[in-house]
Amino acid sequence: MATTGPEDFPARVTVREVGPRDGFQNEPESIPTSDKVRLIDALARTGLTRVEVGSFVRADVIPQLADGAEVLAGIAIPDGVDVAVLVPNQRGWEAALPHKDRFDEVIVFLSASETHNVKNINRPVADSLATVESLLGQVRDAGIRPLASIATSFGCPYEGHVDPKRVYELAGRMAAAGAEEISFGDTTGMANPRQVRTFYEEALERLPGVELTAHFHNTRGSALANALAALEAGVTSFESSFGELGGCPVPPGSTGNIATEDLISMLHEMGVDTGVDLAKLLDASRDVQRVLGRPLGSHVLTAGPVEWADE
């Protein structure tokens, strides 16, 4: 039977599925819109209450997400499931705005590292922060929940160590501009559990009233350990990607996000509720594996969920 964790573990956490955006954008070929719609609809019926479905970016930059408006128009999301989209800049927000009745949350982002920010979106961090602050206010004024994300929060593949104080300062500016939730990304899988626990313990003290989300990549196999460290620090909000889809466009070798089914399975085995039906989630992961035509990195997708002889 499932075992329970320490008494100070939260009884329940929420998970935002980011595969339809963060995962699909890293695929070498575009996935048909009809497949995206079917997969998102399936994910929204697993018990997940948050799904990131796409991004309003230039089609020549990320052609895999060029059908964002069509996906939004085609999905049928049950009540109680929040739909998020990512916008990179003012142009993206203006492209998303005509479709605002189809989503509940908008995510804006930047990198904590100057070099990564320039390589990722060709702008210095100061310029990105000014744009983010402006967008957060516009999103709030439109009656949509404003969210922010900070990439390379735990380390940069170009600059190495990222000072947590710099990350907290950026997060504080975002919170002051209206961000109700801030996600800290381990964009290229450089974090370790001790670092993560210390980071989130301080972040939770510095940013009261803001929902803090953990976003880990499994580039070096440490994503589940880092998720556990964040949980122990008091984090109750996570992002993950079904099948372990995703990665980072820069640099090479930055493999996928923590697999949603791996994260859900671990949490359930520790007695932490997510509201997610793991069997339904695995069905969705098998479907995306079939669509992509290759094995995916998720451990639970390969081995199956834990089955106890006395259950």
Tell me the domains of the chain and their CATH numbers.
14-303 (3.20.20.70)
Residue type (1 letter), 255: T
Is 52 within 8 Å of 18 (Cβ atoms)?
yes
Is 39 within 8 Å of 284 (Cβ atoms)?
yes
Catalytic residue selected from 136, 148, 196, 248: 248
Across 25-60, b (16+ Cβ under 10 Å) vs e yields bbeeebbeeebbbbbbbbbbbbbbbbbbbbbbbeee
Residue 200 has pLDDT above 70, yes or no: yes
Percent of the chain with pLDDT over 70: 96
Alpha-carbon span 138 to 132, nearest angstrom: 10
What's residue 253's pLDDT? 65
Q: 174-190, pLDDT tens digit by residue?
A: 999 999 999 999 999 99
The model carries a pTM of: 0.95
Helix locations, the chain, DSSP H: 33-43, 68-74, 90-96, 114-121, 125-141, 164-176, 193-206, 223-233, 260-269, 278-292, 299-303
Residue 254 has pLDDT above 80, yes or no: no
Whether 248 is catalytic is yes
What's residue 255's pLDDT? 78
The stretch 258-285 carries a mean pLDDT of 98
Average of per-residue pLDDT values in the chain:
95
Q: 99-136, pLDDT tens digit by residue?
A: 999 999 999 999 999 999 999 999 999 999 999 999 99
Pick from 55-69, 92-106, 198-212, 237-251: least confident = 237-251
CA quadruple 253, 23, 154, 139: dihedral positive or negative? positive
What's residue 5's pLDDT? 43
Percent of the chain with pLDDT over 90: 90
